[in-house]
Structure 1
Amino acid sequence: MAFDINLQQLGLQAGTGAVIGGIIGFAAKKVAKIIAVLVGIELAVFAFLESRGILTVKWDRLTAGLIDASQQAASGTPPSWLMSILSTISVSGGFSLGFLAGFKKG
């Protein structure tokens, strides 16, 4: 049983994935910082308005999605999207390394 692996094509896929991942990682960190600031401001405004009696915030409803996600993660069954990622490991590996490098630089 011989495997026909083209190392040049594999390297090209990993390299292209790394470059694209680096660009997206750099941009993602910038966007994540902006979103974190906006969410922080929003929660501070909610807390302020609630303390003044202007509105009522159901804080338990805000965290309900997080609790559901943690219970699903604890179930131990791998999601179907994980199998899709594993099938494209050459491109996604390069992309992931590039993304991390770009995210760190951003």
Structure 2
Amino acid sequence: MVEFSLPQIGLELGGGALIGAVIGFAAKKLAKLIAIIIGLELALFKFLETRGILSVNWDAIGGAAGNATAAAGDGGSQVNGYLMSLLATLPLGAGFTGGFLLAFKKA
């Protein structure tokens, strides 16, 4: 049986929120950097294609992006049914999720 105490739950919520906020802030900044790099790369491809230096198969690029998003969506389909382990990690997970979302939105 899992036992909870109020200070333990508060510590886990606060710690999870702090860790989630740091990771959320970093994830937002990293996502922006990756988007800029990919945008510049695609703009360079288009420029080189208009100059006749490079021939780009845009259908293959679109298909690869679709395959990557489909694979990412299938990754979370396995759910484990251990209720006790879920209850034991609920305060930390709830704090982490709240902190992550807040920092990701504000960054």
Q: What range is the shorter-chain TM-score in?
A: 0.7 to 0.9
Give the corresponding residue for 1:98.
Answer: 99
Percent identity of paired positions between Structure 1 and Structure 2: 44
Q: TM-score, normalised by structure 2?
A: 0.72
What is the Cα deviation at residue 3 of structure 1? 6.3
Q: 1:8-53 CA distances to partner (integer Å, 9 max, x unpaired)? A: 2222112111001111111222222222111111110011111112
Cα separation, 2, equivalents of 1:38 and 1:12: 39
Note the residue ranges of structure 2 that are not aligned, 5 or more in a row: none
Cα separation, 1, equivalents of 2:42 and 2:72: 26
Aligned Cα root-mean-square deviation (Å): 3.0
What is the Cα deviation at residue 72 of structure 1? 8.1
Q: How does 1:34-49 map to 2 (within 5 A)?
A: 34-49=33-48
SS at match of 1:10: helix
What is the Cα deviation at residue 71 of structure 1? 8.2
Cα separation, 2, equivalents of 1:61 and 1:71: 16
What is the Cα deviation at residue 92 of structure 1? 2.0
Residues paired across the two proteins, number: 101
